[in-house]
């Protein structure tokens, strides 16, 4: 699990605006971003399913292509959906779940596409506990538990009804994560799980909702973000994630998160 506290500390790039202040905690298959929002994001799309909550008395707003902004107390955004986000001054929580995880597969089935409102009453106690934990500067483990309790409230009823991830794709992801620091041809991963490249290509997309190469890029982006959060500059973080240069890393980051990588400043970072 990775943890970082997002604060202004002079590491922002020239002209970059601070997206928000707060904390980020990452675990295998998900993360929570919690704090006070500042600037709105640009249009972006990412691999993770996003649950967003207004933890103060206000709202969060989303916009999709060609549509007006819509306000929500809580909402869920499907994976790979282009959208923009805005909640200036509000205490918000963004909880990301990767679609191939057990929780993510349930969310994919229950909330198929687009942006759907969530009834805050469904997880009012869990949301209040998450906000209280943040206000109390709780441990990363407690923030993780509080955030995952919210996801559990959305998935628990269907936990036994969802087909698990295909074991071959599950193993392929494990091998890929082990070798993500090197160039890994798809054919090698397919061979490792005893599938032909063509069969593997189709099964990977079917099971994860994303093609193999974009998924590799997603994992490399995670590595680069972790390196940048650990105090490396953009160039060093780019190389850590296997990007050709900082421009490629920054472009990918903005495309997936809607803000400049240089607009994220980190006060502390630890692996727990």
Quick one: pLDDT band at residue 263, thresholds 50, 70, 90? Answer: low
pLDDT digits (tens, 9 = 90+) for 172-217: 999 999 988 888 899 999 999 999 999 999 999 999 999 999 999 9
Q: Are residues 13 and 97 in the same domain?
A: yes
Specify the pLDDT at position 26: 79
**Residue 82, in any domain of the structure:** yes
Q: How distant, in Å, are the alpha carbons of 24, 94, 222 from that of 87?
A: 17, 11, 24
Q: Which of 59-73, 123-137, 200-214, 257-271 has the lowest mean pLDDT?
A: 257-271
As beta bridge partners, residue 22 has 6, 35
pLDDT digits (tens, 9 = 90+) for 100-121: 999 999 999 888 889 999 998 8
Q: Which two tokens stand for residue 81?
A: 């959906």
Q: Are residues 203 and 156 in the same domain?
A: no
Q: Is the pTM of this model over 0.75?
A: yes
| Spatial strand order in the sheet of 70-72 | 70-72, 60-63, 84-86
Residue with tokens 């060093």: 236
Q: Are residues 155 and 109 in the same domain?
A: yes
Q: Which two tokens stand for residue 24?
A: 């980020």
Percent of the chain predicted with pLDDT > 70:
86
Q: Are residues 99 and 185 in the same domain?
A: no
**Residue 75, in any domain of the structure:** yes
Q: Which two tokens stand for residue 248?
A: 């490629």
Average confidence score pLDDT of the chain: 86
pLDDT digits (tens, 9 = 90+) for 38-87: 888 999 999 999 999 999 888 999 999 999 999 999 999 999 999 999 99
Q: Are residues 24 and 63 in the same domain?
A: yes
Q: Are residues 151 and 180 in the same domain?
A: no
pLDDT digits (tens, 9 = 90+) for 13-37: 444 566 677 787 878 888 888 888 8
Domain CATH number, residue 18? 2.60.120.10
CB 6 within 8 A of CB 24: yes
Residue with tokens 């349930």: 106
Domain count, the chain: 2
Q: Residue 233 above 50 pLDDT?
A: yes
**Residue 151, in any domain of the structure:** yes
**What average pLDDT does range 228-243 have in this prediction?**
84
Q: Are residues 142 and 171 in the same domain?
A: no
**What average pLDDT does range 169-173 have in this prediction?**
96
DSSP letters spanning 98-128: -TTSHHHHHHHHHS-SSEEE--GGGGHHHHH
Rounded to the nearest 10°, the torsion over CA 233, 235, 236, 237 is 80
Q: Are residues 153 and 33 in the same domain?
A: yes
d(CA 265, CA 231): 9
**Residue 231, in any domain of the structure:** no
d(CA 127, CA 143): 11
d(CA 61, CA 40): 9
Close Cβ partners of 57 (under 8 Å, ≥ 6 residues apart)? none
Q: Are residues 77 and 133 in the same domain?
A: yes
Q: Are residues 189 and 135 in the same domain?
A: no
Quick one: pLDDT band at residue 267, thresholds 50, 70, 90? Answer: very low
Q: Are residues 135 and 191 in the same domain?
A: no
d(CA 2, CA 202): 31
**Residue 250, in any domain of the structure:** no
Q: Residue 269 above 80 pLDDT?
A: no
Beta strands 70-72; 91-97: pairing state: unpaired
Q: Are residues 64 and 24 in the same domain?
A: yes
**Residue 238, in any domain of the structure:** no
**Residue 91, in any domain of the structure:** yes
**Residue 244, in any domain of the structure:** no
Range(s) of the domain holding residue 109:
2-163+260-271
């Amino acid at each position: 699990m990775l943890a970082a506290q997002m604060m202004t500390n002079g590491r922002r790039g020239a002209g970059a605006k601070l997206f928000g202040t707060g904390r980020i905690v990452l675990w295998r298959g998900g993360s929570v971003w919690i704090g006070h929002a500042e600037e709105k994001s640009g249009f972006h799309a990412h691999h993770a399913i996003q649950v967003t909550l207004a933890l103060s008395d206000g709202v969060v707003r989303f916009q999709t292509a060609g549509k007006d902004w819509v306000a929500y107390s809580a909402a869920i955004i499907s994976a790979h959906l282009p959208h923009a986000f805005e909640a200036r001054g509000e205490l918000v929580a963004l909880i990301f779940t990767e679609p191939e995880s057990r929780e993510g597969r349930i969310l994919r089935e229950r909330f198929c596409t687009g942006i759907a409102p969530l009834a805050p009453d469904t997880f009012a106690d869990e949301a209040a506990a998450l906000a209280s934990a943040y206000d109390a500067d709780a441990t990363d483990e407690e923030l993780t538990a509080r955030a995952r309790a919210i996801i559990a409230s959305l998935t628990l009823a269907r936990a036994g009804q969802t087909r698990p991830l295909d074991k071959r794709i599950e193993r392929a992801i494990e091998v890929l994560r082990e070798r993500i620091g090197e160039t890994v041809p798809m054919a090698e991963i397919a061979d490792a799980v005893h599938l032909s490249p063509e069969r593997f290509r189709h099964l990977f997309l079917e099971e994860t909702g994303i093609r193999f190469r974009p998924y590799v890029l997603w994992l490399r982006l995670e590595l680069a973000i972790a390196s940048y959060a650990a105090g490396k500059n953009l160039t060093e973080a780019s190389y850590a994630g296997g990007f050709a240069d900082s421009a490629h890393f920054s472009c990918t980051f903005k495309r997936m998160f809607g803000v400049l990588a240089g607009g994220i400043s980190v006060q502390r970072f630890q692996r727990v």
